[in-house]
Amino acid sequence: MRLVPTDDAHRFHAVGALLRAGEPGWVAPPPGDLAAPFVHAGGQRWLLEDGAGRPLGRIAAHAHAARGARRPPPEPHEGAASGGGSAHRNEARANAERGARRPPPEPHEGAASGGGSEAQAKEQGGLGYLEVVDDPDAARALVEGAEGWLAQRGVRIVDGPIHFGERDRYWGCRVSGFDQPVVFQENGCPPHHARLLHLLGYRPRMQSLTFSVPLDAVPVADLRQVVDAKVGARARFDPLDLGDLDAAAAAIHTVYRAAFAEGGRVRTMDQAEIASGLARARDILDPRMVWLATVDGRPAGVFASLPDLNQPLRGLPRTRVKAFAFAVHPDLHAQGVAAGLALHAQAGLRAVGGIDEVVLAGIGGHSARMLGIAAWLGGRLLHQHVTFRRALDGAPVEPLAMAEPLPEWLR
């Protein structure tokens, strides 16, 4: 076997299709998703080949400190979890099933910490975009080669598999739900990926859960009661105005800047970036997939979704959307804004036609509030991803709270 550094984005991307061809439900990520993070430098890619030059795998590494102004992926805020793991999720579901005359929990934006000190950031690195045959020797060659490169750059803590851009996509390794296809921009890792990482000393650090929310399961009457009892007539909920994307971008920017300014979990895009993203999505975006809330005339919240593009890429009709933004201005938490957004999104998506479910992806197993929302809305667990960690100096890995039990071989 031979580990070869490469700057050839096309060859790097093609390895996935070569190794996963014919696998039911697998969809190759768009080439740009794998190439874009390397524009910022600080990363390296490798291909693993056998003696005849045939691909056995690929991997990339990124030293976060090399990203310059781009911050390393921050640690989630452990204080957001109740510490009860699955017991917390069961309690949230029980509240919903009792009829929940109590309001649903509001999402807690900005719940992440700032990612630690500058010294800690320089010690962090990541592995990503892993594809490998089911062979421990091949996995070892890829991972140890990438770890060596990271160690030379002062990295002590390695997370993976991660995305080297924003953490709302391609984050973690799927460890359950292999009978359910992943949604757009989720890692569709085969079962042996997690097993091989575990064999190489990587341990679960963080759990990310994906829920399906059937539109028929959304508790419409309860949501309406919450809105009427709390924010009432002070609030407006409007679909996206495709004729005035600048105004929509300004409102979304206001909410996101306030919601995530201190947490650092999400890089707050500027208004021009948001407007550009909406314009690029125009061809696949129905205005009723995006809802903006105002309270007393001021931006208060946003729910935004897009069709799950993996469905047409697999030759299937579009029947579900993936929510990529659900945020409420922190001044208006627990005032019924989230309930109103969910209520109007459900009605709007029904009106689009053909849509029967919303997918909520990337909900942290430590995130008590978002787990509560998923349960209250009738969410059904599709699968879980785990972000693994290894300290190169052998220090133990302290996992965050997890809401679902891990497979027995990972415990």
In tens, the pLDDT along 340-354 reads 999 999 999 999 999
Report residue 97's pLDDT band, with 50, 70 and 90 as the boundaries.
Answer: very low
Concatenating the DSSP letter of every residue in 209-250 gives EEEEEEGGGS-HHHHHHHHHHTTGGGEEEEE--TT-HHHHHH
For residues 168 and 304, the answer to whether their CB atoms sit within 8 Å is: no
Torsion from C-alpha of 142, 144, 146, 148, nearest 10 degrees: -150
pLDDT at 37: 60
Mean pLDDT check: name the lowest of 63-72, 123-132, 231-240.
63-72
Length of the chain: 411
Give me the CATH topology for the region 82-111+213-384. Aminopeptidase (3.40.630)
Q: Is the pLDDT of residue 236 over 60?
A: yes
Tokens of 225: 């009661």
The stretch 143-162 carries a mean pLDDT of 95
**pLDDT of the residue at 232:** 95
Per residue in 172-214, pLDDT (tens digit) is: 999 999 999 899 999 999 999 999 999 999 999 999 999 999 9
Dist. CA 344–CA 234, nearest whole Å: 16
Range from 169-183, 230-244, 256-270, 323-337 carrying the lowest mean pLDDT: 256-270
Helices (H) and strands (E) in the chain, counts: 12, 13
Residue 361 CA to residue 172 CA, distance in Å, equals 12
pLDDT tens for 310-319 read: 999 999 999 9
pLDDT for the residue numbered 183: 94
- Burial bucket for residue 8 (CB in 10 Å: 0-12, 13-18, 19+): exposed
Handedness of CA 360, 363, 368, 370 (dihedral sign): negative
pLDDT of 365 strictly over 50: yes
Rounded to 10°, the helix 245-260/271-280 angle is 130
Q: Is the dihedral of CA 259, 403, 359, 101 positive or negative?
A: negative
Q: What pLDDT sits at residue 261?
A: 65
pLDDT for position 111: 29
- In this prediction, residue 31 carries a pLDDT of 82
CA distances from 86 to 10, 105, 362, 365, 371 (A): 42, 17, 17, 9, 10
Angle among Cα 130, 133, 138 to the nearest 5 degrees reads 80
The predicted structure's pLDDT at residue 22? 83
2-71+115-207+387-410 belongs to which CATH class? alpha beta
DSSP state of 406: P
**Res 164: pLDDT:** 81
2-71+115-207+387-410 matches 82-111+213-384 in fold:
yes
| Average pLDDT value for residue range 362-390 | 93
Asked whether the beta carbons of 173 and 364 are under 8 A apart, the reply is: no
pLDDT, residue 159, reads 95
Least confident range of 110-119, 259-268, 321-330: 110-119
| Residue scoring higher pLDDT (34 or 396) | 396
Q: Where along the chain do its domains lie?
A: 2-71+115-207+387-410, 82-111+213-384
Average pLDDT, the chain: 84
